Chains A and B, each alone.
Chain A
Amino acid sequence: MANPSCYYNWSFPDELDDTYSTRFASGIQAMDTSIYSLSQLFGVIGATTVVISVYPPTPALWATGNNAVTFTSSFTFASMSVSPYGDLTGAVTVPYSGCIVRFELTMTDLITLHGAAGTAATPAAYDADAALKTNTTLVHFRLLAGSLNISGDSMWKILHRGLGEAKSVHFTAIASLGQGIQTVKLEARGISYLSLITYPSCWHQLAPKCPLILTATMESI
C-alpha cells in the first residue's frame, strides 16, 4: 500500500507515529492543493474567447494589393484592414504553458470585387464585363500569434469566380502556445487573374450584417 499515495504523493502518518497530527495535517493540505488545481483546470478547458468580431452594418471593404496573372509564393501578406474597423487584431489569454488553442475563423458572405485603382467595381459591372465574369481570384489568409504563423501561408484559402459571388468559409487551426496574453492578427494576400491594366485593384467585401468571427478555444493537453 502506497504511502505517499500513487498519483499525488500525499503523505500521511505511519502507524505509531508520535507526531501523527502534524503529518496528518500536511497530508490533508496536500490533498486540498491537488484537488484545487483540478478545479482550476475545469475553469479553463473548453472556454472560448471571441478574439475578433466584425459585424458591419454596411458593406465593409478591404483590399489585397497583389494583382497579376501569375501567382508566385513571394507575394507578401498584408494586414486585413477592413474599413472602418482597421487592422483585424485581437488577443487571447493562454492560462498555462503548453495549452493547446483551437482557432476558428468564420466569414459569412465574403465577396471579391475588382475595379480600377482604389475603387471596387459595382455589381452591375460584373454582369456587363466578360473579363469579370470569367476570371478568378485566389486569396490566402493567415493567422499570426506574435511572430508565430499558426495557419501557414496557404492552408486558409478561397477561390472566387469573377461574378462577385458570396462565399461563406470556415477555417480551423490548432496551436500550442506559451502562457500569457497572445496578440493575434489576420493577414491576407490575393491574386487576381485579370488584366493589370483594366483592373489593377482587387477588393473584398464583408456583406452588411454578415459576421467575421475569430474564436479561440482552450483544449486540454
Chain B
Amino acid sequence: MKKNKLKIRFKEINFQIILLLLAVFVFLVIFWHDRWILNKVVKPVSQTTRNIEQTPTEAPSEPLPEEGVSQAGKKEVSPAINFKSYEQERKEEEKDKGTPIS
C-alpha cells in the first residue's frame, strides 16, 4: 500500500515536470518567433522605406550622366573674349521700327 502511494506521488511529480517543460517550450516558441519577426521582417521593411525615399532624386536604374556635373558642375565658364555685343544695334532699332508685325 505504502509502495503504491509512493508510485502515485512519483507519477504526480513526473507529470508536473512534463507540464513545466511544456510551458517552457511554449514560451521559447513565442519568444523565438517574436525575435524572428523583428529581425527578418520589420528591419528590412524600414530599410526599404528609406531606400524608396531616396529614389526620386537618384533614379537608380538609369543614373544621370555625371560627366557634365563633374566637369563643370560648380565651375564658372571662363570669361568671353572678343564678345560681339548687339546692344547699340538694338537701341537704334528701338528708335525707328515702323509698324511691326509678327
Q: Do A and B come from one complex?
A: no
Could you tell me which B residues sit within 8 Å of A by CB distance? none
A interface with B by C-beta (< 8 Å) = none
